[in-house]
Amino acid sequence: MGRAWKLAVLAGAAGIAVAAAPQATTFLDPGYLNLADVIPPAPIPEEARGVADREVFKLTRALKGTPRWDMAIADVPGDTASMMRGFSCATRIVMTPTNAPRTAALLEQASRDSRRETNQLKAFYKKKRPFLIDSGETCEPQTDALAQSYDYPSGHATRGWTWGLVLAEVLHERAGPILARARAYGESRIVCGVHNMSAVEAGRMVASSTLAVVRTERAYADMVVAARAELAALPKLDDAASAQACSAQELLVTQPIFR
């Protein structure tokens, strides 16, 4: 007897009406995938990866006030609408949750699977964010909520690389620019100073590993076909103002964030 059914029976016996809690849709059932043995352990500050993380954090503080810092700020929200805008130059399509609901549903459903895996690893490693180890400015406020959440793996990097992999399959003719933007989306968290380089790399590994399994699901394949048809019918991003803005973004995407 499931827990929800038991609660319903008990509530009914007590004369209480209980509404069923909505279940977010995923491609994989919870527990279907376990990446604990796939993703490398979170580094400690004194080991080689940890030392590299700290050095990169210090070097990238110099990016404050540059266009790349501004791009990192724009990448902070992570909601569907802002990410669709963020990937518009790479896809050359004006995407919104309203005009591309099937695409948005596909991206969100895949992201829920990879986010679940990331959150499990975060809770296991409980690794501190970089600004709690070495002082430095960040591109978003250092709130208690941010400080009390964990670094490894990066949820933003997981989400960004998930989006990149899915969109590259839907729009395979634009796969290169899409994946480059997805990489830069994760790197924005390093520029911002809220995630370490190792956490961003781990986020990409989580996304790649999860999507390798998600892609075997028939439901995923069907949603990819629907999204491809949907995006094919949308207007292309080809006006002069957009071309100028996209050229500027592409230049930032191709530049290394540290030397």
Question: Along the 259 residues of the chain, how does pLDDT read in single tens digits?
Answer: 333 333 233 333 333 333 333 456 999 999 999 999 999 999 998 899 999 999 999 999 999 999 999 999 999 999 999 999 999 999 999 999 999 999 999 999 999 999 999 999 999 999 999 999 999 999 999 999 999 999 999 999 999 999 999 999 999 999 999 999 999 999 999 999 999 999 999 999 999 999 999 999 999 999 999 999 999 999 998 888 889 999 999 999 999 998 7
C-alpha triplet 76, 72, 224: angle, nearest 5°: 65
pLDDT of residue 20: 39
Other C-beta atoms lying within 10 Å of the C-beta of residue 84: 23
Strands (E) located in 107-158 = none
Q: What is the DSSP letter of 259?
A: -
Q: Rounded CA gap, 112 and 97, in Å?
A: 16
pTM (predicted TM-score): 0.90
| First-to-last C-alpha distance (Å) of the chain | 59
Instruction: Fill in the amino acid letter for 143.
Output: T
Q: Which residue type occupies 174?
A: R
Pull the structure tokens for residue 54. Answer: 């700290």
DSSP state of 236: B
Question: Residue 24 has what pLDDT?
Answer: 67
